């Protein structure tokens, strides 16, 4: 499995358990305001980008919106739209149209699913549901899907026989694009975070924490959304803590008062072990800059290399 597919599946897996909302509130909570009115953070975020679909999709069935959001949150808009074979301001929120985009590019398969594929379900001429293939084991295909589940409508893992009658087929992104495409963005620097650093998440606001960037880290931002930035090959960070100005270089350390006195016992120990000679006055100086080879000899004579 490629690193790109692993990143996509990690983003989707972090969303398992997210509930559809009863109204347009608590959208970033996984289970808060659970209901069946088709309100989700996924539609909110793609609506905010503005040119993904041919209109706003909040309040509509959202299985395809979920898939598209996972690609966009992982790779940024430019690359995700290419992977999904979709056109801007198009009909990609509809399962039938999404499947058609793959077919038009010769990237649709009726068998042999692979992790990272977009799976489509339906009967006859109807395409009614979609998700992401997580893995294939034996005679079964495992998926992560939005707008599914018994009881609460949510993001959930599902499993089907490969021969399941309503599987229409699989759209396969061209994963070679992940390494070949040139992304346009800007470089920022982590600032004002203190000792804890800046959390990098799978998803803005409430996503799982992947890592923390130390103060001063350079980040390449490939997408901005509601005050958050997607970093190249990483995850999402709050732009409140990213500056476009590089941090000033750290000042050269200066010897503190009393540093020479502090070093004298160690120098005396080195003289006693014949590492070098003192001048008889209690002061100790190198007569020439120490070389890498000299340092190795010193460490060996002090038995630090034993």
Tell me the fold of 183-243: SH3 type barrels. (2.30.30)
CB atoms within 10 A of CB 208: 15
Instruction: State residue 28's pLDDT score.
Output: 93
- For residue 288, is pLDDT > 50? no
Average pLDDT over residues 58-82: 94
Q: pTM of the full predicted structure?
A: 0.76
Q: For the chain, where are the E strands, in sequence order?
A: 108-109, 118-123, 126-137, 140-148, 154-161, 167-171, 186-190, 198-201, 209-213, 218-225, 228-231, 236-238, 242-243
Lowest mean pLDDT among 97-101, 108-112, 254-258: 254-258
Token pair listed for 121: 């379900």
State the CATH architecture for 3-179: Alpha-Beta Complex (3.90)
Question: In this structure, what is the dihedral angle of CA atoms 209, 211, 215, 219, given to the nearest 10 degrees?
Answer: -100
Q: Same topology for domains 3-179 and 183-243, yes or no?
A: no
- Write down the domain spans for the chain: 3-179, 183-243, 259-301
* pLDDT tens-digit readout, 231-256: 988 899 999 999 998 887 766 655 55
Band (pLDDT 50/70/90 cuts) for residue 263 is: low
* pLDDT tens-digit readout, 12-22: 999 999 999 99
* pLDDT tens-digit readout, 153-207: 999 999 999 999 999 999 999 999 987 776 778 999 999 887 789 999 998 988 8
* 211: three-class secondary structure by DSSP: strand
């Amino acid at each position: 499995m490629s690193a790109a597919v692993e990143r996509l599946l990690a983003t989707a897996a972090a969303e398992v358990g997210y509930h559809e909302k009863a109204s347009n509130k608590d959208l970033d909570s996984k289970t808060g305001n659970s209901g069946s009115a088709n309100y989700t953070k996924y539609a909110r975020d793609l609506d905010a980008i503005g040119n993904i679909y041919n209109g706003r999709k909040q309040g509509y069935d959202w299985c395809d919106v979920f898939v598209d959001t996972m690609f966009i949150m992982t790779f940024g808009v430019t690359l995700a739209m290419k992977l999904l074979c979709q056109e801007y301001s198009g009909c990609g929120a509809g399962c039938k149209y999404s499947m058609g985009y793959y077919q038009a590019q010769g990237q649709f398969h009726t068998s042999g699913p692979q992790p990272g594929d977009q799976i489509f379900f339906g009967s006859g001429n109807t395409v009614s549901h979609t998700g992401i293939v997580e893995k294939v084991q034996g005679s079964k295909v495992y998926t992560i899907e939005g707008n599914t589940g018994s009881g609460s409508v949510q993001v959930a893992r599902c499993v089907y026989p490969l021969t399941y009658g309503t599987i229409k087929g699989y759209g396969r992104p061209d994963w070679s694009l992940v390494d070949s495409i040139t992304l346009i963005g800007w470089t920022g620097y982590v600032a004002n975070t203190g000792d804890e650093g800046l959390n990098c998440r799978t998803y803005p606001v409430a996503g799982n924490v992947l890592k923390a960037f130390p103060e001063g880290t350079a980040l390449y931002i490939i997408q901005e959304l509601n005050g958050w930035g997607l970093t190249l090959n990483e995850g999402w960070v709050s732009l409140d803590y990213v500056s476009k100005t590089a941090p000033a270089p750290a000042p050269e350390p200066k010897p503190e008062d009393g540093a020479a006195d502090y070093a004298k016992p160690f120098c005396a120990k080195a003289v006693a072990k014949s590492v070098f000679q003192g001048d008889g006055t209690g002061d100790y100086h190198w007569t020439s800059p120490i070389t890498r080879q000299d340092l190795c000899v010193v460490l060996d004579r002090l038995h630090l290399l034993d």
